Chains A and B, each alone.
Chain A
Amino acid sequence: MSASSDLSTPVSKSSEPAAGSTGEGTSKGTSKSPALEIIDLSLGFGKQAAPILSLPHLAIAPGTLLGVAGPSGSGKSSLLYLLSGLLRPTKGSVHWGDTDLTSLSEGACDGWRRRHVGFIFQDFHLIGELAPLENVLLPAGFHGWRIPADLRKRATTLLDLVGVPTNRGSVADLSRGEQQRVAIARALLFDPPILLADEPTASLDAVAADNCADILFANARENNRTLIVVSHDHTVIDRCARVLHFDKGRLLTKTEAA
């Protein structure tokens, strides 16, 4: 396994297009990753209730490694869902490059997310009955019937790079660390410019957590991808260039690595 290997193999136009190559959401910056700008963001449930997340302004450059920290219920995961378009803010807007997520229809938002975002979850959420390779290739079936050969090759390469043998029968037979690495490979299938990770190491032991973090950060760094990690794990947060500390839905502090 090599955490610093090149994972940015381009995917052909016949499969899912790489994000930076599409008109929608094209970055203003020099890298493939679009810049993020949040303006007057507020998320609440019901008109009278206080917002559960409020963020007046945030701008991050393409390729930023951003950590989001804070106690449970502080709005960290909600921020991730807002940034991916899974949640619509009560007020304000989320811009990725030229794309205002809040102005997209649900279908367009699904398409944007598929092309631009790789999601990694705490509990991996793999399909236990499928083999590692089938799990990695699962998103390829969202819009196409046949899986292009180059995408299949990329999935195999990704599994090889994260150190999971492709000949394993089912992901249920893998260790938790291996399962999370399969989930990372799945998130990287379409070479997305944005990686969102929600507590990616929370259910792993220290060695496996470190290993997964290595892969994530190495990929983001080497390929200039924007990585936003929600975590309680200091060993993960400490790797980030910028860290946002939230409490009760409000941004308390921003810290930047020296």
Chain B
Amino acid sequence: MNPFPIVFASLRRHWVMNILFIALIAVAVAIGVGITAQERALRQGSAHAADKFDILVAAPGSHTDIVMNTIFLRPSAVNLLEGPIWSKLLNDDRVDFAAPLAFGDSWQDHSIIGSTAQFIDYLSGGLRDGAMFADHEEAVIGAAIPLEIGDTFEPAHGHGFEAEEHHHHGVNITVVGRMHATGTPWDSAIIVPVEQVWEVHSLSAGHAESDHDEDHDHAATGSEDHADHDVHDDHDGDTAHEHEDDHDHDHDHDHGHETVKLGPPFDGVDLPGVPAMVVHPKSIAGAYGIRSSYRTDHSTAFFPAEVLIEMYQMLGNAGTVMRWMALGTQALVVAAILAAVLALMQIYRKQFAVLRALGAPRSYIFGSIWLYVAILVVFGAAIGLALGWAMAQAVSQVFTAETGMAMTATIGRPELGLAAGFVIIGFALALVPAFMLYRKPVVEALRGS
């Protein structure tokens, strides 16, 4: 039995309707595939973005806000973690690596974050181009920042409209290095020494007292963030000695050319607050210990993964709703196509009756109609799979452009399963018109107009 000639002829005869059928099936499958692939890409992208952020320690507040600030660089107002607390964290035996993260400034909507050279090494695994910052007015940029080494820029306070409306800091910062691409929002970030952030906000320099510090009226703006200095005495002995050496050097120069003290160890005295600390523990046990120790009235510590899981649960719930909606759409499309095919079969009724009169067995009629619908379903599902992947890719690119978070939508087993499920249901439903025409009396159809 070879029903292909009659099937292809039927496909050609009502080609507009058949293309419409295929388009409907493709869109229905694409919606489901796109949602599933995009959701997975978002999970993978956000999980990758959080890879380097094992533990976050911050002032008590919303963990989600802290995660959004630190990992996804979506600025929002957070309290500052008091200097003595994060200073203590730097010297915690359970900590393998820790760095302050100071947000608030921007350049052309790219976040400027104050941190340390160690953090840049930790985050990006070294620099792709240039050198590490060695002065307050130097910056290392993320891989996606549209600046070149040697370019200068002026940071503004805040982000977006706020940054345009409010004052610029009046400081020109020179780009000296570029990080490797990380596939995280940090590719769109500019990292300056944390001391620079403190400096432009008139806070203390974080190192032992110097003339440099006296240039700024830090008491006016920073005192509320670090009123409690109880823990400073715990660790400022060593740093004080180091700073004495540095001070001799620092004070020999004006800002532009002096060899300034950047990064740890910080001077525990009069240390400004920071929005968050990123911590890499030495061990899993240490991680839980740190999380427990720093959950106090003055600080909070948590695994970003916990927040992400909560977000995934919400995302998952929304995804489940959307998947059901997509399934509903698919069911409606299948029902609409089935109704249209049944209507179409009335047109084909006489054609198949003639074939019966010419000696075609019922199985030939049944197979022809089933194959006709099955071809529509297979083509529609295949195009839908490709369309869904393309949609997810496009959305991922928009997301990546907006967030800097690398997202790659791929067609995996869930998407293939969804398309295959649609095809199987389509194959099953194709039996309906096939069976209906199979049973039609031949003579009645031959006599019909």
Q: Do A and B come from one complex?
A: yes
Binds B, one of A30-38, A112-120, A247-255: A112-120
Chain A residues in 8 Å Cβ range of B6: 127, 138, 141
Given A84-B357, A87-B443, the answer on whether A127 and B1 have CB atoms closer than 8 Å is no
| Contacts A/B (CB < 8 Å), 20 sampled | A81-B443, A81-B446, A84-B357, A86-B443, A86-B446, A110-B356, A110-B360, A110-B362, A111-B359, A113-B358, A114-B360, A121-B354, A129-B12, A129-B13, A130-B5, A134-B5, A137-B5, A138-B6, A142-B355, A142-B360
Given A142-B364, A145-B1, A145-B2, the answer on whether A114 and B9 have CB atoms closer than 8 Å is no
- Minimal Cβ-Cβ distance residue in A for B447: A77
Chain B residues in 8 Å Cβ range of A143: 1, 361, 364
Q: Decide: B358 and A138 in contact? CB cutoff 8 A.
A: yes
Q: Decide: B361 and A142 in contact? CB cutoff 8 A.
A: yes
B3: CB under 8 A from chain A? yes
Report the minimum CB–CB distance from B360 to chain A (whole Å).
5
Given A86-B443, A130-B9, the answer on whether A107 and B362 have CB atoms closer than 8 Å is yes
Chain B residues in 8 Å Cβ range of A146: 2
CB within 8 Å of A: which B430-449 residues: 442-443, 446-447
CB within 8 Å of B: which A121-141 residues: 121, 125, 127-130, 134, 137-139, 141
A-B contact count, CB below 8 Å?
85
CA distance A143 to B363 in the complex (A): 10
Chain A residues in 8 Å Cβ range of B1: 141-145
B350: CB under 8 A from chain A? yes
Chain B residues in 8 Å Cβ range of A110: 356, 359-362
B320: CB under 8 A from chain A? no
Chain A residues in 8 Å Cβ range of B442: 86
Q: Decide: B359 and A138 in contact? CB cutoff 8 A.
A: no
Which B residues are closer than 8 A to A by beta carbons?
Answer: 1-6, 8-10, 12-13, 350-351, 354-362, 364, 442-443, 446-447
A181: CB under 8 A from chain B? no
Q: Interface size on A (CB < 8 Å)? A: 34
Q: Decide: B3 and A141 in contact? CB cutoff 8 A.
A: yes
Chain B residues in 8 Å Cβ range of A40: none
Chain B residues in 8 Å Cβ range of A81: 443, 446
- Choose one: A139, A145, A147; the contact of B358 (CB below 8 Å): A139
Given contacts A129-B12, A138-B358, 8 further A-B contacts (CB under 8 A): A110-B362, A114-B359, A125-B350, A125-B351, A130-B9, A141-B5, A142-B358, A146-B2
Which A residues are closer than 8 A to B by beta carbons?
Answer: 77-78, 81, 84, 86-87, 106-107, 110-111, 113-115, 117, 119, 121, 125, 127-130, 134, 137-139, 141-147, 186-187
Chain B residues in 8 Å Cβ range of A117: 359
Chain A residues in 8 Å Cβ range of B360: 110, 114, 139, 142
CA distance A119 to B357 in the complex (A): 7
CA distance A144 to B1 in the complex (A): 5
CA distance A84 to B356 in the complex (A): 11
Chain A residues in 8 Å Cβ range of B356: 86, 110
CA distance A126 to B133 in the complex (A): 83
Q: Decide: B362 and A106 in contact? CB cutoff 8 A.
A: yes
Q: Decide: A113 and B9 in contact? CB cutoff 8 A.
A: no
Report the minimum CB–CB distance from B358 to chain A (whole Å).
5
Q: Decide: B2 and A141 in contact? CB cutoff 8 A.
A: yes
Q: Decide: B359 and A113 in contact? CB cutoff 8 A.
A: yes
Q: Decide: B350 and A128 in contact? CB cutoff 8 A.
A: no
Chain A residues in 8 Å Cβ range of B446: 81, 86, 121
Q: Decide: B443 and A138 in contact? CB cutoff 8 A.
A: no
CA distance A139 to B8 in the complex (A): 15
Chain B residues in 8 Å Cβ range of A111: 359, 361
Q: Decide: A86 and B357 in contact? CB cutoff 8 A.
A: yes
Given A87-B443, A141-B2, A144-B1, the answer on whether A128 and B13 have CB atoms closer than 8 Å is yes
Chain B residues in 8 Å Cβ range of A138: 5-6, 355, 358
Chain B residues in 8 Å Cβ range of A125: 350-351, 354
Which one of A78, A87, A137 has the greatest number of beta carbons of chain B within 10 Å? A87
Report the minimum CB–CB distance from B253 to chain A (whole Å).
88
